[in-house]
Amino acid sequence: MSVIVLAHAAATWMMVGVIWFVQIIHYPLFTRVGPDQFVDYETANTRLTAYVVGPPMAIEGLTSLLLLFAPPAGIDRLWSLVGLGLLGLALLSTIAVQVPAHNELSQRFDERTVDRLVTTNWVRTVAWSARGMLALLMIQLAA
């Protein structure tokens, strides 16, 4: 079994777990923090979340590129390309939607912005979930 495939699957599934936690628990609970404490909470949340998601996202990005340009035996480049496209979709949503919303929330609490985070985060949740399934397929194909 390729170390790249296993590292890719581990990083991807870590992100699958994180994104489902964020979708079902973390973002919806933003409304319970309270407006007086929210800006401090959001500032700490953004900073600390980077420590959790940064390493697996870096590993996921690197291994996705390696799987595309040097795929192990049994893994068609098409699967790698699909996976990279899904990762691109998740990252595009992060950069274009979630980061600006978090920037707004770091200035002041706004329930509509929180609702937008929860609603639009489904794009990332579905993309990373599909990547997780694809990572399992790649493990099977590389075995």
State pLDDT tens for residues 12-48.
999 999 999 999 999 999 999 988 999 999 999 999 9
pLDDT bracket for residue 1 (50, 70, 90): low
Q: At what angle do helices 77-93 and 35-69 cross, to 10 degrees?
A: 160
As given in the structure block, the two tokens for residue 143 are 């075995």
- Asked whether 1 and 70 are in contact (CB, 8 A), the reply is no
What global pTM score does this model have?
0.93
Residue 127 has pLDDT above 90, yes or no: yes
- Asked whether 8 and 60 are in contact (CB, 8 A), the reply is yes
Q: Report the distance separating Cα 31 and Cα 54, nearest Å.
A: 25
Maximum Cα–Cα distance across the chain: 56
